[in-house]
């Protein structure tokens, strides 16, 4: 009888030990700007059917991940009473997605969004509050506003920290690098993996290149994204997720940490140009170990036409663009990574065969716990 109890106890201990082990490989899906149509100035700029259809062609790529990230380029609000004043008639674009669309984001697989961008104040405090409430009700994590600059949460034994930055009012300032470093350093002290989002850099086709200098758009200082990304990694960041230029930019690996400088327009149904290069974007699958160290990534190429959902791009243009821009903007990467014609971004110092054996699709548990906003008071 005693031996039987001992066997049961040892088996229980083994189960507890296995459950306490951290995952060896993490999978992060990441995309750029998401704007599912706007009710302003009228409903003609909204999709005719439920917004869920906008994600359907690429839905499989956002499922079965540990993190699925995007930049929410606009508010989730049904109250348009606090719309911003327009000083340039005919050139103002204000984005109000119906709050019901938040369910489409969840159903698509998104569980982490940046709110740090130039459209989060389009409908004032009412719009920001409604956005946060809508996402909270769907169990989607978010950060990037001055009132909610960071978040922390645990999934399958991994503690994540998340923060987001932009050069716009009401967001955590991407140009205040010292303050950003303090935020990242604090998150790094508490978490296994720190994800940093930044909405910065010049815009449009002329802004495809990373200049390693301050970048401007219509005389507005949009920050030095190269300096920002490197200093965030120096402070403890693990994955840098860039967006804002509305075009695809290069990637870089610095200190074994992955940086994408812009993921372009992923799903922007109306009032954001998707003509030409603005309609070509990557959907990344980024693989790291439990410490956030980059293992490899895959570029899933997408294309988009006005008033249409994004789809897989058979011409694989996002891959070609990232290959070209990475070679041009970061020639030193030739000794660090290779980008294959199939979209794999591989470290040259890692055994590719062994790594592929580890890339088993994880089953994501919906664990929404331990919000980290309260730490802001101590930074």
pLDDT value of residue 354: 59
Give phi and psi for 26, each to the nearest 5: -105, 145
Domain ranges of the chain: 28-378
Give phi and psi for 259, each to the nearest 5: -130, 125
Average pLDDT over residues 53-60: 96
CB 122, CB 95: distance < 8 Å: yes
Strands 311-312 and 294-303 turn out to be antiparallel
Average pLDDT over residues 117-140: 97
pLDDT value of residue 206: 95
Tokens matching residue 46: 């909204």
Among 175, 172, 168, 100, which Cα is nearest to 138's? Answer: 100
pLDDT value of residue 350: 85
The H or E element containing residue 13 is: helix 2-20
Beta-carbon neighbour count of residue 5 at 10 Å?
9
In order, the DSSP letters of 339-376 are E-TTSEEEETTS-HHHHHHH-PPPPPP-------GGGG
Q: What's the CA gap between 97 and 138, in Å, rounded?
A: 15
How far from 213 is each of 135, 225, 227, 228, 317, CA to CA, in Å? 35, 8, 8, 10, 27
In order, the DSSP letters of 25-85 are EEEEEEEEEEE----SS-GGGS-SS-THHHHGGGHHHHSS-SEEEEEE-SEE-S--TTPPP
Among 248, 241, 221, which Cα is nearest to 329's? Answer: 248
Question: Is 141 exposed, middle or buried, given 0-12, 13-18 or 19+ CB atoms closer than 10 A?
Answer: buried
pLDDT value of residue 2: 44
Q: What's the CA gap between 191 and 160, in Å, rounded?
A: 5
CATH of domain 28-378: 3.60.21.10
The pLDDT-based confidence of 129 (bands split at 50, 70, 90) is: very high
pLDDT in tens, 159-187: 999 999 999 999 999 999 999 999 999 99
- Least confident window among 121-125, 314-318, 357-361: 357-361
Tokens matching residue 261: 């400088």
Peptide linkage before 360 cis (omega within 30 of 0): no
Q: What's the CA gap between 300 and 258, in Å, rounded?
A: 16
Beta-carbon neighbour count of residue 303 at 10 Å?
18
Average pLDDT over residues 332-339: 98
pLDDT value of residue 27: 98
The pLDDT-based confidence of 368 (bands split at 50, 70, 90) is: very low
pLDDT value of residue 225: 98
- Least confident window among 62-66, 248-252, 351-355: 351-355
**pTM confidence score:** 0.90
Average pLDDT over residues 307-325: 98
């Amino acid at each position: 009888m005693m031996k039987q109890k001992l066997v049961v106890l040892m088996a229980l201990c083994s189960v507890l030990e296995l459950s306490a082990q951290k995952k060896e490989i993490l999978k992060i899906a990441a995309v750029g700007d998401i704007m599912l149509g706007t009710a302003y100035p009228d409903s003609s700029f909204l999709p005719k059917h439920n917004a869920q259809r906008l994600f359907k062609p690429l839905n499989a790529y956002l499922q079965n991940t540990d993190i699925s990230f995007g930049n929410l380029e606009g508010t989730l609000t049904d109250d348009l009473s606090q719309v911003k004043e327009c000083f340039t008639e005919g050139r103002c674009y204000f984005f109000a997605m119906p709050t019901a669309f938040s369910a489409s984001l969840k159903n698509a697989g998104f569980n982490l969004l940046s709110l740090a961008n130039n459209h989060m104040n389009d409908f004032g405090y009412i719009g920001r509050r409604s956005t946060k409430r809508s996402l909270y009700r769907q169990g989607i994590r978010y950060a990037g506003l001055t009132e909610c600059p960071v978040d922390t949460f645990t999934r399958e034994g991994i503690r994540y920290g998340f923060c987001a930055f932009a050069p716009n009012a009401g967001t955590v300032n991407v140009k205040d690098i010292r303050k950003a470093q303090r935020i990242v350093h604090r998150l790094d002290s508490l978490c296994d993996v720190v994800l940093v989002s930044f909405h910065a850099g010049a815009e449009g086709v002329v802004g495809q290149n990373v200049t390693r200098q301050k970048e401007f758009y219509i005389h507005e200082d949009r920050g030095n994204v190269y300096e920002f990304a490197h200093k965030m990694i120096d402070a403890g960041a693990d994955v840098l997720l860039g967006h804002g230029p509305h075009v695809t930019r290069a990637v870089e690996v610095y200190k074994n940490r992955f940086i994408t400088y812009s993921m372009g327009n992923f799903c922007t149904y109306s009032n954001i140009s998707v003509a030409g290069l603005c309609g070509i974007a990557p959907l990344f699958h980024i693989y790291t170990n439990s410490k956030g160290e980059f293992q490899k990534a895959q570029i899933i190429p997408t294309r988009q036409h006005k008033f249409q959902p994004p789809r897989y791009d058979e011409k694989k243009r996002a891959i070609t663009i990232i290959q070209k821009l990475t070679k041009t903007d970061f020639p030193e990467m030739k000794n660090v990574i290779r980008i294959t014609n199939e979209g794999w971004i591989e470290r040259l110092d890692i055994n590719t065969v062994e790594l592929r054996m580890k890339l088993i699709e994880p089953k994501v548990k919906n664990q929404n716990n331990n919000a980290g906003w309260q730490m802001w008071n101590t930074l």
